[in-house]
Amino acid sequence: MYKIAVMGDRDSIYGFAAVGLEPVVAEDAAQATEKLRELVSGEYAVIYITEALAGKIDKEIARYADRELPAIILIPGISGNTGNGLAAVKRSVERAIGSDIIFGEG
């Protein structure tokens, strides 16, 4: 049985606690890195992380990109959508194909 965690600043994530996801509050990069490592070694299959926070620890997140679990997924936080989530999808297209052919048209 795996659990799901949501990381980010307090205001962005406390709503998710109501539906049964595990909120993990982290405000700065050092704290976030430490918490993320804890979560990865724990039994979490999916970790949602706000785009604003993910922007600060993208190197740490990239380390887990090729692992089967956990899936680290960016979500927009309360401060708005930075577009990093879609940019990550775009990056994987570029990695696979060599150039972006999905997002150029839209």
Which residues are at the interface with another protein (CB under 8 A)? 1-4, 11-12, 14-21, 45-46, 48, 65-66, 68-69, 71, 73, 75-78, 81, 85-86, 88-89, 92-93, 95-98, 102-103, 106
Supply the minimum distance, in Å, between the C-beta of residue 26 and another protein: 18
Cα(78)–Cα(58) distance, integer angstroms = 19
> Residue 70, preceding bond cis, omega within 30 degrees?
yes
Using the minimum distance from each CB to another protein, give the nearer residue, 30 or 74. 74
Closest separation between CB of residue 86 and another protein, Å?
6
| Cα dist from 88 to 19, 21, 44, whole Å | 26, 23, 21
Q: Which is nearer to another protein, 38 or 103 (CB)?
A: 103
| CA 89 to mean position of chain CA atoms | 12
Kindly state the smallest distance separating residue 77's Cβ from another protein, in Å. Answer: 8
d(C-alpha 29, C-alpha 101), whole Å: 33
